[in-house]
């Protein structure tokens, strides 16, 4: 596979455009930059708190870096021609194919730097999404120095569940995580442990140390699509946004409000005090896991419109409707696509999570084909995500037990 270097003019233009976003929206402060002046091939891995995390990273190295990005994101953008000039590498999330690996390998063999976001998805609740195990094997396979680009604060500046930006200070810390010599000698478990210590995060616990105020930081509209279960009465989909900063359970009256730092404060005389959105989200995840362990709610079905990418218009377009069902091992999409009846089985064993928009849709990838399921009841999107994460965790544990 031939290496294609990012076009110099377009890359510098992208850096120029990214600079005001990094400076004015994310208000980025660089703590360390250990890739500055580094020659030869290397890999930069980064945590993923917000959709535009890359704007903080693209400008800190004079060399042109090749970014690995989501194929879904790439296919649906009207600026694909511009991205091609940047020589980005579109990759199917959570899937590995020979073509993608050859493109990634070609960058390193050409002696150039490569940027990867191992989680593949920005977080929805301040918690990092699962890291596919194949990531750690990739480090050994590439056999070059690996640097960590640690971002803090971008989750609050651009929450996945909200609309628009919320300017406030963020930090970027770029440091060497592994030397190529270490990667040759370290065990896969040691590589995983060090990498996960660097990549995994809880944005709310980081915020406790930073205490940064973000514009409209108390606005919780959209957060009910993530925190969909009441922590007091346990009712699903009873949480609604009230006013600008409050979340309320319509069944039992449990109520919290957010402050300018994004922390939650209980207003009702009953129920738990949950300061962090991440802790509330963990409770929902744990409750879902307990139900699944008891054999309850093991199948989730929702009515959906089906959208697919129109490659000419470079955006998702409606192509049919039906139902989407998740079981422990697969997704089942039944209905009509382009006027024809379909019954599609998509194995889910390799999905640690899914691309999704809280309160709106989930995206199911089957090879090169992506089905965007725009749910009739958008509140179910987050439940699909929690269930697929749990199923993936079960499968990972089963594989580990089988090898012991």
pLDDT digit string, tens, across residues 262-312: 999 999 999 999 999 999 999 999 999 999 999 899 999 999 999 999 888
Domain edges within the chain: 8-210, 223-293, 300-397
Q: Does domain 300-397 have CATH number 3.40.640.10?
A: no
Question: What's the confidence (pLDDT) of residue 404?
Answer: 57
On whether the CB atoms of residues 56 and 26 are closer than 8 A, the answer is yes
Q: What is the mean pLDDT of residues 140-151?
A: 95
- What is the value of pTM for the model shown? 0.93
| pLDDT of residue 93 exceeding 80 | no
Q: Helices H, strands E: what count in the chain?
A: 12, 18
On whether the CB atoms of residues 344 and 363 are closer than 8 A, the answer is no
What confidence tier does 98 reach under pLDDT thresholds 50, 70, 90? confident
Structure token digits, residue 236: 């699903």
Question: What's the confidence (pLDDT) of residue 321?
Answer: 98
| pLDDT of residue 35 exceeding 70 | yes
Question: What's the confidence (pLDDT) of residue 97?
Answer: 75
Q: Does domain 8-210 have CATH number 3.10.310.30?
A: no
What confidence tier does 27 reach under pLDDT thresholds 50, 70, 90? very high
Residues of the chain above pLDDT 90, percent: 79
Residue 365's nearest CA partner among 127, 75, 104, 115 is 75
On whether the CB atoms of residues 183 and 146 are closer than 8 A, the answer is yes
**H or E element in which residue 317 lies:** strand 315-326
Question: What's the confidence (pLDDT) of residue 263?
Answer: 98
| pLDDT of residue 91 exceeding 60 | yes
By three-state DSSP, how is residue 396 classified? helix
Q: What is the chain's mean pLDDT, rounded? A: 93
pLDDT digit string, tens, across residues 309-352: 988 887 899 999 999 999 999 999 999 999 999 999 999 888 88
pLDDT digit string, tens, across residues 101-132: 899 999 999 999 999 999 888 999 999 987 88
Using alpha carbons only, give the angle 82, 84, 87 rounded to the nearest 5 degrees: 120
Question: What's the confidence (pLDDT) of residue 403?
Answer: 66
Question: What's the confidence (pLDDT) of residue 160?
Answer: 96
On whether the CB atoms of residues 266 and 273 are closer than 8 A, the answer is yes
pLDDT digit string, tens, across residues 361-384: 999 988 889 999 999 999 999 999
pLDDT digit string, tens, across residues 63-90: 999 999 887 777 777 788 899 999 999 8
Pick the range with the lowest mean pLDDT from 25-34, 143-152, 265-274, 308-317.
Answer: 308-317
| pLDDT of residue 389 exceeding 60 | yes
pLDDT digit string, tens, across residues 162-189: 999 999 999 999 999 999 999 999 998 8
What confidence tier does 398 reach under pLDDT thresholds 50, 70, 90? confident
Q: What's the CA gap between 13 and 234, in Å, rounded?
A: 51
pLDDT digit string, tens, across residues 211-263: 999 999 999 999 999 999 999 999 999 999 999 899 999 999 999 999 999 99
Q: What's the CA gap between 384 and 403, in Å, rounded?
A: 29
Residue 337's nearest CA partner among 354, 352, 350, 324 is 324
Q: What is the mean pLDDT of residues 5-17?
A: 96
């Amino acid at each position: 596979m031939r290496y294609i270097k990012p076009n110099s003019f377009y890359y510098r233009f992208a850096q120029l455009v990214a600079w005001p976003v990094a400076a004015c929206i994310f208000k980025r402060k660089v703590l360390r930059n250990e890739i500055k002046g580094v020659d030869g091939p290397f890999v930069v891995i980064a945590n993923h708190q917000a959709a535009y995390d890359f704007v903080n990273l693209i400008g800190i190295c004079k060399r042109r870096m090749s970014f690995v990005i989501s194929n879904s994101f790439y296919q649906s953008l009207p600026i694909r021609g511009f991205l091609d000039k940047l020589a980005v590498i579109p990759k199917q999330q959570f899937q590995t194919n020979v073509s993608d690996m050859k493109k990634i390998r070609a960058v390193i063999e050409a002696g150039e730097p490569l940027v990867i976001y191992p989680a593949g998805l920005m977080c929805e609740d301040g918690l990092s999404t699962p890291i596919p195990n194949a990531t750690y094997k990739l480090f050994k396979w590439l056999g070059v120095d690996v640097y960590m680009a640690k971002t803090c604060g971008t989750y609050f500046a651009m929450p996945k569940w909200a609309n628009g930006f919320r300017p406030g200070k963020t930090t970027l810390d770029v440091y060497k995580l592994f030397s190529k010599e270490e990667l040759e000698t370290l065990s896969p478990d040691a590589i995983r442990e060090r990498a996960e210590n660097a990549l995994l995060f809880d944005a709310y616990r980081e915020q406790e140390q930073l205490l940064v105020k973000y514009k409209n930081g108390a606005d919780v509209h959209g957060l009910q699509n993530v925190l969909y279960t009441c922590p007091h009465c346990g009712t699903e989909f009873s949480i609604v946004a009230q006013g600008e900063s409050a979340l309320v359970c319509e069944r039992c009256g449990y109520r919290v409000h957010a402050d300018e730092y994004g922390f939650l404060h209980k207003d009702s005389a009953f129920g738990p005090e949950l300061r962090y959105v991440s802790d509330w989200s963990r409770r929902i995840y744990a409750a879902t896991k307990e139900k699944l362990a008891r054999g309850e709610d093991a199948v989730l079905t929702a009515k959906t419109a089906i959208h697919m990418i129109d490659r000419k218009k470079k955006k998702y377009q409606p192509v049919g409707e039906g139902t989407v069902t998740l079981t422990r091992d697969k997704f089942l999409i039944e209905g009509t696509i382009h006027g024809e009846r379909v019954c599609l089985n998509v194995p889910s064993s390799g999905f640690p999570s899914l691309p999704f928009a809280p309160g709106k849709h989930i995206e199911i990838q089957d090879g090169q084909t992506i089905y965007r399921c725009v749910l009739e009841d958008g509140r179910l999107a987050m439940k699909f995500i929690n269930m697929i994460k749990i199923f993936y965790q079960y499968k990972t544990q089963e594989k580990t037990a089988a090898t012991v």
